[in-house]
Structure 1
Amino acid sequence: MAQTKTSLTNLTWSEQTELVGLVLSVVPQTNATLFPQYTIGLHAWFLDQVRQLNPQLSQYLHDGQSEKPFTISDLEGEINTQGKQLQLKSKQTYRWYVNALSVELVEWLKKWLEKVPATIDLRSAPLEIIQVAIANPPTTYQHLLSSKTLKSLNLSFISPTSFRRKKHHFPLPLPRNVFHSYLRRWNDFSNLPYPQDEFLDWIDEYVLINRHQLQTTKVAAGKRGTVTGFVGAIEYSLAKAAFEQPEFVDLFSALGQLAPYCGTGHKTTFGLGRTKLSWTENTPSIESLAVETQLAQRIEELTTNLLKTQKRTGGTRALNVCQTRATILARQERGESLKNIALELDMSYETVKTYAKIARKALNS
């Protein structure tokens, strides 16, 4: 079959651009099944694309301890379920979103667009890239700050969203959590830092919740473990006294406009926390979320049982090891090969094989 040439739509921006979001329209050539944690594969594919043009940048994105200057989404489109897996339809168009939050990554994107690859290789589901377009317009942090001030914000959380609080997941979009999430990215990448504690105290004092429509969900996310998160929409506004500090009002508005680029909460580089600056009631497919929830619940169940077999359960090491082993075992139970699991978890095949064996032995003892 002849390869369709990828359509590139209005993909130009100035050298000053610091933020941009792209949407890739992709098409599976045959019906294909995906495991619920398929965003790990999208994450790995993206980093490999960066590596091919800029190995140093890819290493930083993979290993850097600071905020990551990119986000990706899961696939948007009609995704059905087939047993414990997800199913993509042949010839159906799906959309995948990628956002860059730093000058260096925006520059990489511009070079990458000079020779867009024909497909995204998801192993079991190669996806032909038929179009790349702008999703979030090219801009700068200064432009967000100086643009028209928004005195209220409607935010929609399109994919499961969560925060970390006292070493646990916190599935509520309280103003302080939400704006702390945005401010961390802003202070890391904008070169226009603001005092964190002072601003967040102002958020606590003056940001109001006008309405919300939220539901909680549990999903397997990232390379191990599960996340309890939420999807839905919320509206924030400002109390009258907030306007006595206009610089924080401007930042409140700018961070709201940053949200579609940086996402909300944690694990945004694995598809969580995708956010729109609008009120929308379009939430993820209940069927596909149910499959992801089943996997998350199984990982959590296995983690709990494995922890009971540990002689030492203090600290985080035992929990991390048990979560990793539980993730491997749960995915293997759903028919995924240890080889593919090893590739996606960035672990050696022998280690994954050993972890699966140890986990089964511990559970059967």
Structure 2
Amino acid sequence: MPHSLVLNLLPQSPVSPQFLTGRHLHALFLTLVSSVDPTLGDRLHDSTADKAFTLSPLQIINTNSPLFKGNRGESKLQYSHQQPILANTPCWWRISLLDDTLFGKLTQLWLNLNPNRPWHLGPADLYITSIEGTPQSIQPWANASTYIQLYEEASDAYGGKLRNCSINLTFSTPTAFRQGQYDNTLPTRESVLNSLLSRWNKYSCIEFTQIAIESIFSSFVNIHTEILADSRSKFIGIIGEVNYKILGAIEPIQIKQINALADFALYSGVGRKTTMGMGMTRRLYSH
């Protein structure tokens, strides 16, 4: 069962940009895991395989940063920080969990949350003030659903409803896809759908064997590349929106599978480095 949890945080001292990288947030997550299950924390740390969680960059609430529009959960998130986050600045941080085993192991952490216990991000102390795990009007990144629900609630027919065959994805943090030894930033239908499919088949127990990728066509593209660099590496990815249309003669079950994968994007992200804050993606519905 995938969960998308939003942790509301309050730093007690300034957090320097050097400790706001994906690597440091990844380490903070492993610390949270190890606090309730040290063996699991060690296993996640040592694993090189696709991991059953994703993380977001740390987000400042109501910031005036040009990378962030000021409302929680906007499609464009802040993925790098040039200035310290000051003490007592409300922040949020999204953690998604893709299987019940991991969520179950961490249940004690969520149930016994101590708002007075500090967690460390570099030398700074952070308090977790609350956790959101269900849809919020101002926080679209919080949600939970079973895989069966995702599949059953996905539309399987045209039915006169164009949105059933229109998939609008927003790539909210830099997104890139591995091809051989190198990265590719272009969100082709193959790159996006295969990324979603591999994670769906690994964790859902509802295997999709033949996705009609050849029936998906991009009809609107509004993306640009961003460069994220730290002392260790440089990551280039795209940010923006792409609308994909399902066209041609296609079986209802194939429409259903594609729609289920698009809705799953909220939890799984797409592409590389999703455990470091990259590839955060969700489906947007027009009203």
- Bin of the TM-score, shorter chain as denominator length: 0.7 to 0.9
The CA deviation string for residues 209-259 of structure 1, in whole angstroms up to 9 with x for no partner, is 1212111012137x9432210111111110032x2x322211111111110
Partner Cα distance (1:132, 1:35) in 2: 25
For 1:19, the equivalent position in structure 2 comes to 2
Q: For residues 140 and 37 of structure 1, do their structure 2 counterparts lie closer, same or farther at Cα, with a shift above 3 Å needed? A: same
Unpaired stretches in structure 2, ≥5 consecutive residues: 67-80, 134-140, 156-163
Q: Does 1:131 align with 2:139?
A: no
Q: Does 1:104 align with 2:101?
A: yes
Q: Is the 8 A contact 1:264 1:273 kept in 2?
A: yes
Q: For residues 148 and 184 of structure 1, do their structure 2 counterparts lie closer, same or farther at Cα, with a shift above 3 Å needed? A: closer
Partner Cα distance (2:216, 2:92) in 1: 34
Larger radius of gyration: 1
Equivalent residue letter for 1:155: L
The CA deviation string for residues 35-73 of structure 1, in whole angstroms up to 9 with x for no partner, is 176221111111122123223322332233432110010
Candidates 235, 244, 249, aligned match of 1:236: 244
For 1:216, the equivalent position in structure 2 comes to 225
Partner Cα distance (2:263, 2:111) in 1: 28
Q: Does 1:257 align with 2:263?
A: yes
Q: Does 1:187 align with 2:187?
A: no
For 1:46, the equivalent position in structure 2 comes to 29
For 1:144, the equivalent position in structure 2 comes to 150
Larger displacement relative to structure 2 (145-154 or 118-127): 118-127
Equivalent residue letter for 1:114: L
Equivalent residue letter for 2:222: Q
Q: Is the 8 A contact 1:28 1:127 kept in 2?
A: yes
For 1:90, the equivalent position in structure 2 comes to 87
Unpaired stretches in structure 1, ≥5 consecutive residues: 1-17, 281-365
Equivalent residue letter for 1:38: T
Partner Cα distance (1:65, 1:274) in 2: 20
Partner Cα distance (1:157, 1:277) in 2: 9
Partner Cα distance (1:28, 1:185) in 2: 33
Equivalent residue letter for 1:211: F
Partner Cα distance (1:160, 1:102) in 2: 24
Mapping of residues 47-86 of structure 1, within 5 Å: 47-77=30-60, 78=63, 85-86=82-83
Q: For residues 50 and 79 of structure 1, do their structure 2 counterparts lie closer, same or farther at Cα, with a shift above 3 Å needed? A: farther
Give how far 1:28 is off.
Answer: 2.1
Say how many residue pairs are matched: 253
Greater RCO (CA < 8 Å, at least 6 residues apart): 2
Q: Does 1:274 align with 2:273?
A: no
Q: Is the 8 A contact 1:162 1:171 kept in 2?
A: yes
Larger displacement relative to structure 2 (45-54 or 67-76): 45-54
Mapping of residues 343-362 of structure 1, within 5 Å: none
Partner Cα distance (2:127, 2:36) in 1: 21
What TM-score comes out, normalization by structure 1 length?
0.64
Give how far 1:153 is off.
Answer: 1.4
Give how far 1:276 is off.
Answer: 2.2
Partner Cα distance (1:102, 1:74) in 2: 21
Partner Cα distance (2:265, 2:247) in 1: 21
Q: Is the 8 A contact 1:155 1:278 kept in 2?
A: yes
Q: For residues 114 and 226 of structure 1, do their structure 2 counterparts lie closer, same or farther at Cα, with a shift above 3 Å needed? A: same
Partner Cα distance (2:198, 2:277) in 1: 18
Equivalent residue letter for 1:86: Q
Equivalent residue letter for 2:239: V
The CA deviation string for residues 155-196 of structure 1, in whole angstroms up to 9 with x for no partner, is 11111111111311111111110011111111111111222x
Give how far 1:97 is off.
Answer: 0.3
Give how far 1:85 is off.
Answer: 4.2
For 1:9, the equivalent position in structure 2 comes to none
Q: Is the 8 A contact 1:121 1:127 kept in 2?
A: yes
Partner Cα distance (1:236, 1:163) in 2: 18
Partner Cα distance (1:161, 1:64) in 2: 22
State percent identity of aligned pairs: 28
Equivalent residue letter for 1:263: G
Q: Is the 8 A contact 1:36 1:86 kept in 2?
A: no
Give how far 1:146 is off.
Answer: 0.9
Partner Cα distance (1:136, 1:25) in 2: 11
Partner Cα distance (1:210, 1:108) in 2: 42
The CA deviation string for residues 101-140 of structure 1, in whole angstroms up to 9 with x for no partner, is 0010111232211222533311233222222112432211
Partner Cα distance (1:86, 1:172) in 2: 30
Equivalent residue letter for 1:69: A
Partner Cα distance (1:238, 1:36) in 2: 42
Equivalent residue letter for 1:209: S
**Greater share of residues in helix:** 1
Partner Cα distance (2:43, 2:145) in 1: 23
Three-state SS of the structure 1 residue aligned to 2:122 is coil
Three-state SS of the structure 1 residue aligned to 2:110 is helix
Partner Cα distance (1:80, 1:30) in 2: 20
RMSD: 2.3
Give how far 1:80 is off.
Answer: 6.1
